Chain A
Amino acid sequence: MSFLTPFFLLGALAVALPVLFHLIRQTSKEQTEFSSLMFLLPVPPRVTRRSRIEHILLLVLRSLVVCLLAFAFARPFLPKADSADLASGPGRHIVVLVDTSASMRREGLWAEARAKAEGVLRSTTPADSVAIFTFDREVRRLVAFEQWATTAAGQRVTLAITALAKTTPGWQGTQLGQALINAATALDDVRAENGQLIPRGTRQIVLISDLQEGSRLDSLQAFEWPKDTELLVELVKAKLPTNAGLQLLADTDDNERQPGEAVARIRVSNSTDAKREQFQVGWSDGREFVGKPQDVYVPPGQTRVVALGPPPLGTAPERVLLRGDDDPFDNTIALIPPEAARVSVLYLGSEQASDTAEPLYFLQRAFPSTRRQIVQILARPPAEPLLPTDTAAPLIIVTDTLPDERVASVRRLLTQGKAVLVSLKNKNLGRTLAGLVGKESLTADEMKVLSYAMLAEIDFQHPLFAPFADPRFSDFTKINFWKYRQLTPAQFPGARVVAKFDTGDPALLQMPVGQGTLYVLASGWQPSDSQLALSSKFLPLLFSLLEQAGGIRPQVTQHTVGDRVPLSATNAAVLVTRPDGTSLTLGAGTTVNIQTDQPGIYTAVSGTVTQRFAVNLDPLESKTAPLPVEELEHLGLPVKHVEAKSAAQAAEAKRQLANAELEGRQKLWRWVIAFALVFVAMETLLAGWLAKRPVATEHAAT
C-alpha cells in the first residue's frame, strides 16, 4: 500500500482533538470570582470513573472517523509492478533554441544558459529527438534532428553539449520572432518527413534566452503558430540589472556646421529595471576617456540625448564611451563620419566658365558641395583629349559640336554604361547627336516660336520627373522656352519622349544606347534659349539626372553588426582589417561586401585607397530588461514557464505521474470515505442514546 499524498496522514494527528476535548470536559469551564482567596486552599478536582467509561466508545468512534478521513485524503493505492512502464511513451521532438545575441554577453548569462541547456538535454530520453539552434539576427543549426538521430544514443548529449561549448554569444541583435518561426517550421518539417502524425504535446521548443526587451517579435504577428507545438521558456537573468546603451543619432543634413556646435549627438538609454541613473559619456580612444566626460542622468527606462562637443584639440577620438552601468558590452560606439562621395560630371563644351550667357556657367553653380557628396564639373573643350579621370565620370554633358573622334570616344563610353545628356544649344549639334545615336545624320532644325513654348506633356512616371509628381511641384508652365530645335522621335529608335513642348514637339528624349542612356534636350538652359536654368526645377532635375546616371548612391550613415557593408569597387585586392585586429583579403574585381560580425572600426585597404567605416551594436540590444513572458502569450504562443529540472527530478515527476494515474484508476479513497460516513452515523446514534440515558435513569430514580 502506497500513498499519493502521504503528508495528509499527518491529519491523523487530529485524533488528539477528541481526546483533548474529552479531557477538557473533565475540568469545569466555570469560573467564579471571589473577593479573597486568603482563607482557601486548593483542592484537586473530583473525577468519577463512571463518566470516563460512558464516553470511551464515543471517543473511539470519533478518533476512528478522523483517522479514516486522514487516510482517505492521503489517497492510498496498491502499487503494481508495471506502473513504471506507463511512463515511457512515444518520444518527444524538442528544439532547444539558445540566444547568442550581444545581450547574452552580460556577466554570467551565457554560463547559466549553457547550464540550462545541459539540464534540458540530460532530461531527454533515448526516444526523444532533439535539435539545437542558436539565434541572434540569424538562426544557426548547431545540431540538427538528423545528426541527433544518426548519433549513438549514449553520445547524443555529449555531442550536443560539445557543440554548445564551442559557441559563444556574438555581437548581433535579437530576431526572436524569426528564430521561433524557424524552430516551429523545423518541427513541422519533421512531421512532414515522417509522414505520420506526432502525438499531441510531444513537440516542444525550449527557449533559453534573457528575453530582453529589445528582442524583435514583430515577425510572429503574421505567423500562425502550430497548435500542438508548445513553448517552454527558460529565462536566464542577469545578476546586475543596470545597463545603459549608446546610440548615434543621424546628423541633420545641414551643409555647414556652426562653430561650437555639437559634433555628435548620442542617445543614452537606460534599461527599465536599472538600479542606477548616473552615467558618464565622453570621447574615448577605446579604453579611457579623452578629455572631460559629461555627466548624464538617465532614469530607468528613459533616454537622454547628449550633444558631444568637439574633442580636445590635438586628439582625434573616434569612439564614444559610457561609464557607470554594470555591463560593458554596449558601452562603446565607434564614430566615423561617412566621407563625402566624389562625383564628377564631364562637360564637353568650348565656352568660358565665366560667360553668363552660356550653359556651363549655370551648370557649375548647380551642384553645391554637401557633406554627402562633392560634385566636380570637369569642363573640357571638345578638341582636347580625355584624361583617365574624365572617363570615370558617370555623366557626360555635351553642349557643343564634337569632332568625330571625340564623338566616337563618347559613344564608346555611352555604350559602356555612362549617361550622356546632349543639350541642343544650336542646330549644328545634329551631326554630333547622330554620331552618338549611331546614325549618319539627324535633323534638328531651329523652330520658330511665336512668343514662347513651354513644357506641356511631362511623363511623371519617368524617374527623372518622378520627384515632381506631386501636384505641388508639377507646375512647369512658368518655364518659358524662347527657342528650341525640332526633333523627330522616329529618328531615335527605342527612344522614349519624357517631355513635350506645348507645340507637340519632343522636349526631352531618353534613348538607351548599349548599356548606357542618352538624354536629348531639344533646347538649352542658358537664358538666350530658355528660363530653365533660372527656374527652381533646374537643380532637382540635374540631381535626378545624376542619380539616374549612378553618380549618387543612397548612403547608409551607420552600420550595425551583421550588416553587409559594400565597398567601392576597385581593381586591386582588398585587405580588410577587423576591429579585433584580424584581417582577411578579398579577391580583386569582385563586388566587395564585407560581412560584419563585431562592433568597431573596419579598415579596407585596396591599392592606394583606404576606406574606414564604423560598425556599432544594434541599439535594441541595450534594452536588457526582461520581456514579460505574457508578451509571447499575447502573440498566441502556448508558453509553459518551467524551471530547469535535473534528471532525478524528471524521473521523480514521471514516477509521481504514474502513481497518480494508478491511484486514479483504483480510487480506494471512496471506500475509506464511505466507511468514515458509516462511523459518523454510528457516533451520532450512540451520542444520542447516551444523551437520553441519564435522564431515563433519573426518572426511574424519582
Chain B
Amino acid sequence: MISSADQAGRAQGELIDPQALMAIRSLEMRARVVVEGFWSGIHRSPYHGFSVEFTEYRQYTPGDDPRYLDWKLFARSDRYFIKKFEDETNLRCHVLADNSRSMNFGSRGYPKATYANTLAATLAFFLHQQGDAIGLLTFDDQIREYLPARHRPGHLRHLMLALEKPPGGAATDLAAPLKRIVEIVRKRGLMVLLTDLLAPVEALEKNLATLTASGHEVVVFQILDPAELAFDFAKAALFRDLETGKQLYIDPDAVRADYRRSFDAHCAAVAVTCAKLGIALRRLTTDQPLELALFDFLRERMNKGKVVKRNTA
C-alpha cells in the first residue's frame, strides 16, 4: 500500500528525472529503478480464487461448491459460510507497445518509443514482482513481437529483450494488431496500451471498441512529446512526416496556433471516445517522471479493485 505522504514526497521533487533515467542504457535497470519501493503494490483481480489472502465470508446458497465451506465456522456458529479469498496471482496483463515510426520522434534527446518501452518495462517488472502473469505485444501496422502472459523465471528477461529491439515499423495502424490480440488472448485480462494515438479518431474508436468488446479491461497511456503539445519550433524548415515520409515546408510561428487548436481537438475527441468505451486514458509527456505513470496506474487499479469488491459484495 502506498501512503499518500509517500506520494506527496515523491511528487515534490524526489521523482526521477526522465532525462536522467533514459540515460541508463539497460531497460531492465531503468525499470528496476522506477519500481524500487513499489514491489508490494496492490490491485485486485477480477477473478476470485482460493489463495492466501482471505477477503470475506458469504452465506452458503445451494449451488455453491461445498468444497469452500468453512467447517470451523460451521462448528462455532452452526451456519454455512463460504470462505472467499483474493487471488493475487491470476492477473493476466498484456502490455501493448506501439513501435510505429511516429514513436521515433523525440525533442528531449530520446524518442517517445524509448519512453514508452521504459514504461512498459517498468509495468512488467512491477507486475512480475507481484507474481502476476505479464505478456507483451509490440506492433506498428502489424504485430512485431508477441510474448503470451506468463509468470515464469526468465520470462521477464525475454520481455526486456523484446522491448529493446529497435523500432523498425511503419505507420500506426491499430486495427490489425488489436484484432489479432483479441483472437490470441481468450482469457479476460488487463490490456495496457502504450501509444501516441496520432491517428484519426474514428479509426481509433473502432479499434479500441474491439478490445473492450471482448471483455478486456483496457488502460491507455497516450505518450506524447512536449513538442507535439506546444509545437515550439523556432525556425521555418522542411518538416518530414515520420510515418508517411511526406514533406511540408512550415513556418512554425505561422501555424502554431492552428496546430494547437487541431491537436487539442484531437485529444479531446480521443478522451471522449475512451470515456465512452470505459477505457482509462492517461496522457503522459516524455518529460514526466515515470513514477507518476506508475502511481496513476496503481491508483486506477485500486479504484477498480474497490469497484469490483463493492460489486461482488
Contact = CB atoms under 8 A, between A and B. Distances in A.
Contacts of A40: 239, 248, 250, 255, 259
A43 B233 contact: no
A100 to B, nearest CB: 75
Contacts of A34: 105, 239-242
Given A35-B102, A39-B266, A28 B235 contact: yes
Interface in B92-128: 102-105, 112
Nearest to B112: A35
B277 to A, nearest CB: 22
A30 B234 CA distance: 12
Interface string A38-50: 1111111110000
B175 to A, nearest CB: 17
Contacts of A30: 235, 237-238
Given A42-B248, A43-B254, A45-B251, A28 B236 contact: yes
Given A35-B225, A40-B248, A41-B258, A46 B102 contact: no
A35 B239 CA distance: 10
For chain A, the bracket of interface size reads 10 to 19
A37 B259 CA distance: 10
B237 A36 contact: no
A33 B102 contact: no
B239 A39 contact: no
Contacts of A32: 233, 237-240
B237 A33 contact: no
A31 B237 contact: yes
B181 interface: no
B241 A39 contact: no
B105 A35 contact: yes
A38 B239 CA distance: 12
B105 A33 contact: yes
Given A35-B105, A43-B251, A45-B249, A28 B237 contact: yes
Interface in B26-61: none
For chain B, the bracket of interface size reads 20 to 34
The secondary structure that dominates the A interface is loop
Given A28-B235, A40-B248, A35 B240 contact: no
B198 interface: yes
B201 to A, nearest CB: 11
A43 B249 contact: yes
Interface in A5-38: 27-28, 30-38
A30 B247 CA distance: 12
A45 B255 CA distance: 12
Contacts of B262: 39
A37 B254 CA distance: 15
Nearest to B100: A35
A38 B102 CA distance: 11
B217 interface: no
A45 B104 CA distance: 27
B236 A35 contact: no
B240 A31 contact: yes
Contacts of A27: 249
Interface in A77-128: none
B228 interface: yes
A32 B258 CA distance: 19
A340 B162 CA distance: 105
Interface string B250-275: 11001100110011001000000000
B228 to A, nearest CB: 6
Contacts of B246: 37
Contacts of A43: 236, 249-251, 254-255
B243 interface: yes
A41 B233 contact: no
B140 interface: no
- Which residue, B105, B238, B244, B254, has most C-beta atoms of chain A within 10 A? B238
A38 B247 CA distance: 12
Contact of A36 (B238, B242, B255): B242
A44 B249 CA distance: 7
B266 to A, nearest CB: 7
Nearest to B227: A34
A27 to B, nearest CB: 7
Given A34-B239, A35-B198, A39-B263, 16 more contacts: A28-B238, A28-B249, A30-B237, A30-B238, A31-B240, A32-B233, A33-B242, A35-B103, A38-B198, A38-B200, A39-B266, A40-B250, A40-B255, A42-B248, A43-B236, A43-B250
Q: Which 4 A-B pairs have the closest CB atoms?
A: A35-B105, A39-B262, A35-B102, A37-B241
Interface of B: 102-105, 112, 196, 198, 200, 225, 228, 233, 235-244, 246-251, 254-255, 258-259, 262-263, 266
24 contacts: A28-B235, A28-B237, A31-B240, A32-B239, A33-B104, A34-B239, A35-B105, A35-B112, A35-B196, A35-B225, A35-B228, A36-B198, A36-B242, A37-B246, A37-B248, A39-B259, A39-B266, A40-B239, A40-B248, A40-B259, A41-B258, A45-B236, A45-B249, A46-B251
